[in-house]
Chain A
Amino acid sequence: MVSLIARTPAEGLLPATIAGLTLAEVTPLAITAVLPFAGQDDAVSRDMGFTFPAPNRTTAQGDTLAIWAGRDMALVLGDPPATRHAAMVDQSDAWAVLDLTGQGGDKVLARLCPIDTRPAAFPPGHTARSLLGHVQASITRLSGDALRLIVPRSMAQTAVHDLTRAMGHAQRQM
């Protein structure tokens, strides 16, 4: 009986620690795109057991994190919810999930991302779909010193290249 070895999107590329900042890959239990059908946000929230996130926000319950990811869509990281009021799409293998931790992660993102990710403008619970260099990404602040960057699996290598370059530059004296 053969078996198929599983590989993570950024396998062999991470973790990387550069001048006090660490970029590491995390592998959620599952990633499920939840797309509530028209007018069904409340019903979906009831079935999920916590609120379906508003635009540019996240919600969470226990280890499960719901990240708004575009019009009528959230990515649920953790246990897949069960509801018939939304289209549910397994995207567990579609994304590379990278956590940038340490002081000054916003200085790294300032080199790649055209939105203001400083903690005052982008506190924990905030999320955005934006660019990370050339790569379209989901960017979320998990806590004061942790940012979660979700990029398409196929572009993990480019994202890691751009992020580690920016991590080096962010530490340079201006």
Chain B
Amino acid sequence: MRVPGRGLLNAAQQVRFNFDGVAYDGLAGDSLASALLANGVRLMGRSFKYHRPRGVVTAGSDEPNALVTVGRGAAQRPNARAPMVELFEGLEAVSQNRWPSLAVDAMQVNDLVSPFLSAGFYYKTFMWPRAFWEKLYEPVIRRAAGLGALSGVAAADESDKVFGFCDLLVIGGGPAGLMAALVAGRAGADVILADERDRMGGRLLDEKEGVGGMAGHAWVAGVLDELDSLPNLRRLVRCTVTGAYDGGTYGAVQRGAPGVAHETFWRIAARRAVLCAGALERGIAFPGNDRPGVMMAGAVRGYLHRYGVAAGRSVAVFANNDHAHCTARDMAAAGLRVACVIDTRPEAPASTGDWPVYTEGAVTGTSGRLGLRSISLRHAGGQRDVFVDTLAVSGGWNPAVHLTCHMGARPVWRDDIAAFVPPEAAVPGLRVAGAAAGVFTTHGALSTGVRAAHDALDDLGISATPADLPEAEDAACCITAFWQVPGKGRAWLDLQNDVTTKDVALAARENFRSVEHMKRYTTQGMATDQGKGSNVTALAVLADATGRSIAATGTTTFRPPYTPVAIATLGAGGSGVGFAPQRFTTSHAASIAMGAPMVEVGLWYRPGYFPRRGETTWRQSCDREVAMVRGAVGVTDVSTLGKIDIQGPDAAAFLDFVYTNRFSTLQPGRVRYGLMLREDGHVMDDGTSACLSPGHYLMTTTTAGAAAVIKHLDFVAQVLRRDLNLRFTSVTEHWAQFAIAGPKARHLLNTLLDDPIDNATFPFMACGAVTLAGVKGRLFRISFSGEHAYEIAVPARHGAALFRLLVAQAETLGGGAYGMEALNVLRLEKGHITHAEIDGRSTAGDIGMARMLAPQKDCIGKVMAARPGLSDPARPRLVGLRPLDPTAPVSAGAHLFAPGAAAVREYDEGYVTSVGWSATLNSNLCLAFLTRGADRIGEQVRLVDALRGHDTLCSVTDPVAHDPKGERLRG
């Protein structure tokens, strides 16, 4: 119910919204919870396990009960906490975990069988029969239990991630945070002030007590005006700092304005930080304490002072501390009936109105089906029932120590305030002020905020002038710890996960006595609220049950995030093409225009094949392209291969050191194939290097190995061989490079080159500068296909044009473009390796290249390659395989066995790395690693693929199946 003349909202700004299909009015600035309470709606949700009717308990992000789903369709967001949902015109929210409706929930039957659903019921009940778990128990439990659901429709990826930097991060905009920000802002420091509410001020907006002789909200408004005038201070509202990480980095999630679905995830690197996150009020466990209408006392005051909303018409207060008595005072002043204050202590403040204050009191039960109707209480003078619709409870306040414990530290128990406080210096650079530090007065918050800011600025060498502290209340915190009211009936701890004091006692009895074990056995604190309001009470109950002190019992581990963060927010920008960068060659558009499907090679997109009219399968295109290259000429883009320009007086010595074979003997204008090992002696990469001029080389790497190779070269140059004077850098991106392969390759080239070439001037493995249509390029006579072939490179700006030109010329010669599929078959026919063969486990000997380790020089990996295990002749060696029936199925990943041997691990003799249909030889072909392979040419092996069901008899061949003498390369 709205109380006229109370609260900070403008009664003229009406907002229409809808909850569970019913239209209501609220005010701009309302939360969904305050607007529903204003409309007399108290039932806002159902509990997780027992489907108990529940109402809102808090007024903040710690809310365990009032979880709703906001929005529809793709924009649907489950598990929004009603006190944190800001009202906007047209808001649609629905309640969760009920069927068919919130008031009539069929699943409430769970509550009737609750004696069978106590802690550990999963482990005890669903053990047998085993098969029933998947088929019966789990589906039933999944349907009955749970919170909100996702829509199943992909939401638009509209959220955002931002990096922030500051001298001082102030976490929380209550009295402590505002003073800290003011001090640091005035001193000229670069400040970020983050607060999770829609308006800053913290409890100054929730309480009646003023600051500096004026109302709290008026003082806040003045401070905010000054803060907003400072160019060096950024104020982030609706921004919850969710985690503390290494190096002064903090994660924070910022919600959009009301009605805006997108969020921003901040990664803030702060040189110093001050935590002013305040404290969270905790309840008292007493029978029936989960009924709608039982709320935190501070929340009851907050709804009144911030929103002008009375949580109910008649209120009782149940508390163990002085401060909660203000609730009675404030509600009475607002014209509401205050029935009584029930204080657990023998001594309590006297009544300030016409309500009785009961000492040594306790609430022993409640009634009311969908909302509180009456309470039963006992006290020093007897017992009675009282009709109230609202019970304001306070068991004390838990400082929000969470962030201080995110790096492994545990909070420290203080008996005098009955609370855990932050450990000292647990997060480097993070100080704590105000209620988060266990300082519960307004004066204390203001003064510790000032001090924390001064200390942080001292660290940073920024001088600050002392700030005048405004006048504020400074009453001592009077509290006597009180956790639970014993008696019949269930007393709830974790309202979200339906954990009761009995569950905790049961856990202790069944020897789950460690707080971490108790948590997992009972699910205490494992819901979306992470036990913010209930964990401390639960461990106090556990301490009692196990006869230990609270300090000795300890807390569970605090982990980020402080409040739930949507995965969509953490992954903002990562959907669709935002998932990974795309690298496109200069021929990409032309390939797409020719209908080529793309395959991803690393981040590169390369054409798989170029379908022509009448070709309905990739194999038809591939076979045609292979035949084209073998019979005429083919063109393919090889720009994706790594290209590294190496220069300097010691460049040759460097190449000798990183390659197994010798490059210092390579003459200008010549190219040589090279093999590179890792330090551990296994093959790292292969490729050709060209000597462009004395002391100037161009190394090529595989597409997939490009980044790893240049990283390796950097390591060698900077760490291992600092004596060598050379420089290198990648030029992969500068050159568009195309392979031209086939018997008509030179003919094609000579139609385009300004100065034609012949075999005498440009023999196999030659390279040199050429000019093509006036463009200076480089020509290399190298071949991956086994054909008479060249690679021509031009500056990338001309790549698109050259590709179209080469393809057009090739087509007039009976050839055309070929893709990755044909490229793979061509190299397979020639037994050329790719990373399918040099997969990080193979040695030079394994791939038949032992002779490439030049004996007269050292190289990286040479010593380790000589280890007995790596030079063992029984290692699997590279061979070719050809099925006896040319069309019999073969597959990469299949394993090899002797023809008579069982296809089991013990008889495994190797595996297949590459397969393909050779259009040239009219047969399936494989490359494989076979034990003693080189000695077994001509033998037969069984190729077995248990996954695909292949069992194919193959003959072992040399890896080179086509043109073994390499005659096609030359001439």
B805 interface hit (Cβ, 8 Å)? yes
Chain B residues near A165: list those with CB within 8 A. Answer: 573, 578
Are A93 and B796 in contact, with the CB atoms below 8 A? yes
Cβ contact within 8 Å between B583 and A154:
yes
> A93 and B733: CB pair below 8 A?
yes
Nearest CB of A to B245, in Å: 13
Interface size on A, residues (CB 8 A): 52
A110 and B164 contact, CB distance less than 8 A: yes
Please, how many angstroms separate the alpha-carbon atoms of A110 and B269 in the complex? 12
Give Cα distance in the complex from A38 to B573, angstroms: 43
Query: Please, what's the 1-or-0 string for B704-733, where 1 marks a CB less than 8 Å from any CB in chain A?
Result: 000000000000001000000111111111
Q: Is B90 part of the contact surface with A, judged by Cβ < 8 Å?
A: no
Nearest Cβ distance between residue A86 and chain B, in whole angstroms? 7
B582 touches A2 (CB 8 A): no
Chain B residues, CB < 8 A from A93: 733-736, 795-797
Docked CA distance A1–B771 (Å): 13
B796, A153: Cβ atoms under 8 Å?
yes
Let me know if B586 and A162 touch, CB within 8 A.
no
B619 interface residue per 8 A CB criterion:
no
Please determine whether B734 and A6 come into contact, CB atoms closer than 8 angstroms. Answer: no
Residue of B nearest to A120 (CB): B190
- Selected contact of B797 from candidates A8, A115, A133, CB within 8 Å: A8
**Chain A residues with CB under 8 A of B736:** 93
Chain B 620-638, CB-CB to A under 8 Å as 1, else 0, gives 0000000000000000000
Contact of B586 among A7, A89, A92, A152 (CB under 8 A): A7
Asked if A57 lies at the interface with its beta carbon under 8 angstroms from chain B, I say no
Q: Which of B267, B604, B772 contacts A4 (CB 8 A)?
A: B772
Q: Which residues of A contact B796 (CB under 8 A)?
A: 9, 93-94, 153
Which residues of B lie under 8 Å from residue A28 when comparing CB positions? none
Say yes or no: A89 contacts B797, CB within 8 Å: no
A92, A120, A152, A154: residue with the most chain B Cβ atoms closer than 10 Å: A154
Q: Which residue of B lies closest to A72 (CB)?
A: B727
Provide the bound-state CA to CA distance between A9 and B794, in Å. 14
Q: Are the CB atoms of B774 and A3 closer together than 8 Å?
A: yes
- Complex CA distance for A93 and B730, rounded to whole angstroms: 12
Interface residues of B in 362-399 (CB under 8 A from A): none
- List the B side residues contacting A113 at CB < 8 Å: 163
Whether the pair B731, A89 counts as a contact (CB closer than 8 A) is: yes
Contact A91 B731 (CB under 8 A): yes
Beta-carbon contact of A2 and B581 below 8 Å: no
Q: State the CA gap A99–B179 with chains docked (Å).
A: 41
CA distance A9 to B733 in the complex (A): 10
Neighbouring B residues of A135 by C-beta, 8 Å? 581
A110-B163 contact given A4-B805, A162-B578, CB 8 Å threshold: yes
B582 touches A157 (CB 8 A): yes
Q: Are A92 and B584 in contact (CB under 8 A)?
A: no
In this assembly, does B236 line the interface, its C-beta being within 8 Å of a C-beta of chain A?
Answer: yes
User: What are the interface flags for B228-263 relative to A under an 8 Å C-beta threshold, 1 for contact and 0 otherwise?
Assistant: 000000001100000000000000001011000010
Task: Determine if B161 is an interface residue (Cβ-Cβ < 8 Å).
Answer: yes
CB distance from A174 to the nearest CB of B (A): 6
Is B647 within 8 A of A121, CB to CB? no
Determine whether B833 belongs to the interface, using a CB cutoff of 8 Å to chain A: no
The answer to whether A161 has its CB under 8 Å from any CB of chain B is: yes
Query: Are A174 and B581 touching (Cβ within 8 A)?
Result: no
Is the C-beta of B476 less than 8 angstroms from some C-beta in chain A?
no
Instruction: Report whether A174 and B236 are in contact in the complex, using a CB–CB cutoff of 8 Å.
Output: yes
> Interface 1/0s, chain A 1-44, versus B by CB < 8 A?
11111111100000000000000000000000101111000000
B585 CB-CB contact with A under 8 Å: yes
- How far apart are the CA atoms of A5 and B774 in the complex, in Å? 11
- CB of A94 within 8 A of CB of B805, answer no
Chain B residue, CB-CB nearest to A111: B162
Taking a contact as CB atoms under 8 Å apart, the answer to whether B727 and A86 are in contact is yes
Interface residue A123 (Cβ < 8 Å from any Cβ of B): no
User: In the bound complex, do residue A116 and residue B727 qualify as a contact, i.e. CB atoms below 8 Å apart?
Assistant: no
Judged by a CB distance under 8 angstroms, whether B580 is at the interface is: yes
Q: Does B313 contact A (CB under 8 A)?
A: no
A153, B733: Cβ atoms closer than 8 Å:
yes
> Does A155 have its Cβ within 8 Å of any Cβ on chain B?
yes
B805 x A87 contact (CB < 8 A): no
B140 at the A interface (CB under 8 A):
no
Most buried by B among A72, A153, A155: A153
Given A6-B798, A154-B585 in contact, is the A121-B165 Cβ separation under 8 Å? yes
Known interface pairs A4-B794, A155-B581. Does A94 touch B734 (Cβ–Cβ under 8 Å)?
yes
Q: Could you mark each residue 578-596 of chain B with 1 if its beta carbon is under 8 Å from any beta carbon of chain A, else 0?
A: 1011111110000000000
Task: Quote the shortest CB–CB distance from B260 to chain A (angstroms).
Answer: 8
- Find A118's partner among B165, B262, B772, B774 (CB 8 Å cutoff): B165
* Chain B: CB-nearest residue to A156: B584
Check if B773 is an interface residue, CB within 8 A of chain A: yes
In the complex, A3→B787 CA distance in Å? 28
A103 interfacial by beta-carbon distance below 8 Å: no
Q: Is B940 an interface residue (CB 8 A)?
A: no
Residues in A whose Cβ lies below 8 Å from that of B604 = 154
Contact present for A87 and B801 (CB under 8 Å): no
With A93-B796, A165-B573 as contacts: A154 and B584 at CB distance below 8 Å: yes
Task: Name the contact of A87 in the complex, choosing from B162, B163, B648 (C-beta under 8 A).
Answer: B648
Chain A residues with CB under 8 Å of B728's CB are: 35, 87
Q: Cβ of A158 and Cβ of B582 under 8 Å apart? A: yes
B800 within 8 A of A: yes
Give per-residue flags for B748-784: 1 if the beta carbon is below 8 A from chain A beta carbons, else 0: 0000100000000000000000001111000000000
Q: Smallest CB–CB gap between B672 and chain A, Å?
A: 21
Q: List residues of chain A with CB within 8 A of the CB of B136.
A: none
Q: Assess whether A158 is in contact with B581, with CB atoms less than 8 Å apart.
A: yes
Contacts of A86 in B (CB 8 A): 727
Q: Is the CB of A152 within 8 A of B794?
A: no
- Whether, in the assembled complex, B811 has its beta carbon less than 8 Å from a beta carbon of chain A, the answer is no
CA distance A116 to B648 in the complex (A): 36
A174 and B264 contact, Cβ closer than 8 Å, known pairs A91-B731, A133-B581, A134-B581: yes
Question: A95 near B: Cβ within 8 Å?
Answer: yes
Whether A147 sits at the interface, judged by CB under 8 Å, is no
B433 vs chain A, min Cβ distance (A)? 25
A114 interfacial by beta-carbon distance below 8 Å: yes
Does A46 have its Cβ within 8 Å of any Cβ on chain B?
no
Assess whether B969 is interfacial by the CB under 8 Å rule: no
For residue A90, CB closer than 8 A to chain B, the reply is: yes
Known: A134-B581, A154-B584. A114 touches B647 (CB 8 A): no
Which residues of chain A from 33 to 78 have any CB-CB distance to chain B below 8 Å in the complex? 33, 35-38, 71-73
User: In the bound complex, what is the Cα–Cα distance between A162 and B578 (angstroms)?
Assistant: 8
B896 to chain A, nearest CB (A): 39
Residue of A nearest to B158 (CB): A169
A115 to B164, CA, bound (A): 9
Q: Is B209 an interface residue (CB 8 A)?
A: no
Interface string of A97-130 (1 = CB under 8 A from B): 0000000000000110111101011000000000
Nearest Cβ in chain A — how far from B689, in angstroms? 16
CB of B184 to closest CB in A, whole Å:
16
Cα A88 to Cα B729 in complex, Å, equals 10
The reply on B577 being an interface residue by CB < 8 A is yes
> How far is A120 from B805 in the complex, measured between Cα atoms in Å?
51
**Which listed residue, B162, B582, B774, B795, touches A92 by the CB 8 Å rule?**
B795
A110 CA to B577 CA, complexed, in Å: 20
Nearest first, the 7 A-B pairs at minimum CB distance are: A35-B727, A87-B647, A94-B733, A94-B734, A87-B727, A93-B796, A154-B583
Ordered by A's residue number, 26 sampled pairs between the chains whose C-beta atoms are within 8 Å are A3-B774, A4-B774, A5-B800, A9-B796, A37-B649, A37-B725, A87-B648, A88-B647, A89-B731, A92-B734, A93-B796, A94-B734, A95-B733, A110-B163, A111-B161, A121-B165, A133-B578, A153-B733, A154-B584, A155-B582, A155-B603, A157-B584, A158-B582, A161-B578, A165-B578, A174-B237
Extra contacts, 12 of them, besides A35-B727, A152-B583 (Cβ < 8 A), are A4-B794, A4-B798, A4-B805, A87-B648, A90-B795, A91-B729, A111-B163, A113-B163, A153-B734, A155-B583, A165-B573, A165-B578
